[in-house]
Structure formats: structure tokens, C-alpha cells
Structure 1
Amino acid sequence: MDNLSLDSRNWKEFFLEDVVSINGGKRLTKADMQFGNMPFIGASELNNGITAFTCSINESLDNNVLGVNYNGSVGFAFYHPYRAIFSDDVKRIKWKNSLHNNRYTLLFLASMIGQQKCKYAYGYKFNSQRMKRQKILLPIQPNNTIDWAFMEAYMKQKEQQILKPTIYKLCKQLIVNDILGGGKLLCSNWKAFCFTEVFTEIQRGKRLKKADHRDGQTPYVSSTSLNNGVDGFIGNDGSVRRFDDCLTLANSGSVGCAFYHQYTFVASDHVTKLKRDGLDKYAYLFMIPIINRLSEKYSFNREINDERIKREKLLLPATDKGEIDFAFMSAFMKDIERNILNTTLKVFNERVSVNKYKMGGGKLEELPLM
């Protein structure tokens, strides 16, 4: 089921006590708490409700459960797949139908309960009796029973939507860490080079007012820090500057943001083209996190003008002769890309294999790793 929508289902009100079991936590004072590795769940709205770690154990020990604050940060609900103990300010909630107690249906339930927190406050607690009689909306099937399959599929869809950009950011951070950390360990000879030594072409884009933009399909790159610097798509032909296979550096706005563009694009006057003939994309990508550090010394009120950029220097790997080691930069990034792709393919293979096995499809032929 792709692109699931909340509007695609019928909904029905249920009293919480009719669909979930509600159990209390157990009071544990700071004086009696012993430090350990087990999460202690308190009435906080931060850190998934975890307020401490302890080795103390009592009858509130639970897992695969929601912790719902009835005191303190009233109405906040968090899912706990791990073993934890709960304070007396937190209620433990699970579905009465134990077959459907999993992370996805419980996360769906947490969002439904969270919709009610505006009704409650420190002076109007979400106590057991009020919790039992609290109504929540849940999706239903044509026979008016809870649509467990929809809740699970919808939350899995949400998880994928969240994971995709998160994985992308983590991969970018991995590259940054490797270049600024691991890269220095692999290449012991680093040297400062002027921008004019690194790039053979340094050219600012051309001003194009919003009112003069014409609809089209050519990326328009400006000083945004999002979407690889692409601020829209235009069809202008005359009085613009087109570049390709180069870096852009935001000289104003999001000052210091650098992006690589393998495609043809139109550049605004808020970005500067950085190009070197014969350089491949991997060497360009290597330099991006290093160039981005310029944002530490520039700002909206101190732009990177043409004169300043010529005086700037980049710390880059150097050969024994003291020249820029573009070959090392390219090989390093190819290795990083290969490692990321191999890890990603392995995870995807495992995920697809598990899903197909559950659907009775038998063994899945693995995709080849690089």
C-alpha cells in the first residue's frame, strides 16, 4: 500500500479503556535510585521520557509499551521498545489485543493520545479515571473493527519518509568526518593553497530579478543552503550565465555553502563558480566540506566578495613535490562512495529478504555488492 492517506479511511471514537490496558508506574525517589544502565521513565517531554538510568528494578518493569504522562508534562506519550522502569507519574499502556502490540501500531496510538494533551495540565492531571474515559479516534474497517493493518502500514510509510533524508544527512556527515578527520590520517602531507591555485575559473553568476524569471526546466542556483543550492527552475536564455560540472559557493545569503553541479544550470549573482579543467566529481566533492568551513568567518553582513575569495586559502592534501594531490582526493571519495553503497545495499538486501520471507515468497536472490 503506497501513499497511504489518513483521509482514505473511516474513523470511529473509542474509549481508551475499551481498547488498551492501563497500568501505573512505581514511585522511586532520587535517594533510593542506584545508577545503572536501565532507562527510568519520568514525566518529561524530552529524551523520549527518559530522565535517568538505574539498576533498580520494581514491578513497573516493562517493554514494548507506551509511557503516557499523567503528571508533569501531561499527555505526552512515548514508545519504549526496550526494558525500562516507570515512575508513578507515568502510565503504561498497551493494546488489549496483544497480537497487535508492535512499534508501529503503538506509535500510531501515541500520536492519537498526544492529540488530547491540550485538555490537560499540571492542575488537571490525566489520571487513571480520566484516561479510561478519554475518547480517541482510530481508523476502522468496513465491519467497524479497528484497522490494525492500516495503522501499521501508515506508520511504516512515515518511518521511511523520515529515514530517507536522515540517512542522506548521516552519509554527508560521514563524508565530512572522514575528510576532516580520517583523510588527514591517510594523507600526512597537507598544505594551504590559494583559491586561484586550486581553481582555474572563478566567476560570479549574473543578477536575475524574480520578476524576470520565465518558467522552464533549467535549475536556477542561488544562495540557499537547501536542495543543492537550486532555488527554482527557469527558461531564460539571454542575459544569464550558464555553468556546468563545477562547484558553486554562496557569496551572500547562506554564505559559505558549497555544492557540486554535474548538470547545466543558471547561476545568480549570489553564487560564485569554482571550476578546474579536468577535475572529476570526486575531487570536487572532497573539497566541499573544506570550503564550507568558510561559513565560520563570513556572514550575511560580511559577504565573500571577489577580492576576498582570491585571498582565501584551502588546506588540501599535497604530493611530495608540494602540488595539490587531486588523485588522492578522487580516490578517497570513490572509496567512501563504495563503502556507503555496499553498506546500504546490504541493509536493503536484508530488509527486502525479511519482507519477502514474511510474505511467503521464499529466499530472495541477493543483489551484488560493489
Structure 2
Amino acid sequence: MMMGKIDTSLWKKIKLTSIFNMSNTKSIVQKDICPESGNIPYVTASSENNGVLTYISCPDEWTDKGNCIMIGGKTMTFTYQETDFCSNDSHNIALYLKDKTQATKLHYLFLISALRASLSQRYSWNDSISMKRIKSEDFYIPVTPDGFPDWAYMDSFMAEIMKESEICLENLRIVLKI
């Protein structure tokens, strides 16, 4: 069953800073890494492979904490980083949910779509986002009648999307006989 059009009439505009802690990622330039030298994802501002270029041995002082959204500051790519990672650019921004009890993969994936819809139209390579600018931004998300983020809606919506994706992948496997 494919989901229909999303009813956003009860969504509310909120400041990103009201639900996220933000930080610029640390930076290890690509010429200074040794590809496939470890198990820490080396994340770039690419939309391919969830931004992961390779896996490296990365010192703790250059590692950013996972379970966050990473925004490629210059390219406006949004990725969910499940584990700790190293970044290629200090212009990248990591968003961490303030409410740790809601910091789940499904919530982050939902929020990526909402952020992309709100921010991608405002920023480009020539006009990249920065920490200063993102702190003044807002975006629309579903809220409960008392005005709080509707985490239950986000959970059920993303669970349905993931279920539909699995069905599509299984059908593809059957057709390709893999």
C-alpha cells in the first residue's frame, strides 16, 4: 500500500534551535587520510553512500559523535550518521536532538526530509549555510495539540515508509533473482 499525500495542515513552524543542539564538524582533509585504514566512517558532503567515502583510522580528537544529522554546509546534503564519524570539512554541521529519548533513527530520517524541504531552497553552493545562519532558521514539523513535536506520528510514518521500501526491495530481488 502506497502512502497518500501528507496532510501538513497541523504542522507548525519551529526554530531548529528549539529541538537541536548544533556544532560544526571537525575536519580532516582528504589528502591527510589513509583510505580503508580503519572502521570509522569518513563522511563527506556527498549524497552518495550516505556521505561515507571510506573508513579510516581516526583519532578521538577528530571524531564527531554519531546519532545525528549531518548537513554538508556547501552542498546542502543531509545524511543520518548512526555511528561516530570523521568529517572532511569544518563547514559541515551536525544536528543532535536535545531530547535524547527521541533521538532515534526513524525520527532523524523524518526530520531530514522536513529540513531538506525547508532549507534546500534557501541555500546553494554560492550561498552556503553556516552555523550562524542555521541558528536563525526554522522549519515545519508535525506537532501534537499542545504544540510539541509529534514523535508518534513521525515514528508511524517512517515505519510505514521503511516497510514499503522493504517490499519494493524484495520485489526487485525476486525480479532480478538475487
How far apart, in 1, do the equivalents of 2:116 and 2:53 lie?
19
Contact 2:63 2:84 in 1 (8 A): no
Contact 2:41 2:85 in 1 (8 A): yes
The correspondence of residues 1-370 of structure 1 with structure 2, limited to 5 A, is 182-184=5-7, 188-199=9-20, 201-214=21-34, 215-252=37-74, 254=75, 256-267=76-87, 268-276=89-97, 277-278=100-101, 279-293=103-117, 294-346=119-171, 348=173
Unaligned runs of 5+ in 2: none
Identity %: 28
Alignment deviations for residues 157-182 of structure 1 (CA, whole Å, 9 cap, x no partner): xxxxxxxxxxxxxxxxx8xxx6xx72
The amino acid that maps onto 1:190 is W
Contact 1:222 1:270 in 2 (8 A): no
How far apart, in 2, do the equivalents of 1:246 and 1:208 lie?
19
Alignment deviations for residues 175-195 of structure 1 (CA, whole Å, 9 cap, x no partner): xxx6xx7222xx641000111
How far apart, in 2, do the equivalents of 1:216 and 1:227 lie?
17
Contact 2:42 2:52 in 1 (8 A): yes
The amino acid that maps onto 1:307 is K
The offset of 1:251, in angstroms, is 1.0
Alignment deviations for residues 33-83 of structure 1 (CA, whole Å, 9 cap, x no partner): xxxxxxxxxxxxxxxxxxxxxxxxxxxxxxxxxxxxxxxxxxxxxxxxxxx
Which secondary structure does the structure 2 equivalent of 1:333 belong to? helix
Alignment deviations for residues 124-153 of structure 1 (CA, whole Å, 9 cap, x no partner): xxxxxxxxxxxxxxxxxxxxxxxxxxxxxx
1:110: which partner in 2? none
Relative to 1, partners in 2 of residues 1:231 and 1:343: Cα closer, same or farther, differing over 3 Å?
A: closer
Q: TM-score, normalised by structure 2?
A: 0.83
Q: Which has the higher contact order (CA 8 A, sep 6+)?
A: 2
Contact 1:221 1:266 in 2 (8 A): yes
Unaligned runs of 5+ in 1: 1-173, 356-370
Alignment deviations for residues 264-318 of structure 1 (CA, whole Å, 9 cap, x no partner): 2113313111111222111111122222232221122212111111111111001
Relative to 1, partners in 2 of residues 1:350 and 1:326: Cα closer, same or farther, differing over 3 Å?
A: same
1:362: which partner in 2? none
The amino acid that maps onto 1:284 is Y
Q: How many residues align?
A: 170
The amino acid that maps onto 2:111 is M
The offset of 1:236, in angstroms, is 2.3
The offset of 1:246, in angstroms, is 1.2
Relative to 1, partners in 2 of residues 1:212 and 1:349: Cα closer, same or farther, differing over 3 Å?
A: closer
Which secondary structure does the structure 2 equivalent of 1:220 belong to? strand
The offset of 1:225, in angstroms, is 2.4
Larger Rg: 1
Contact 1:221 1:271 in 2 (8 A): no
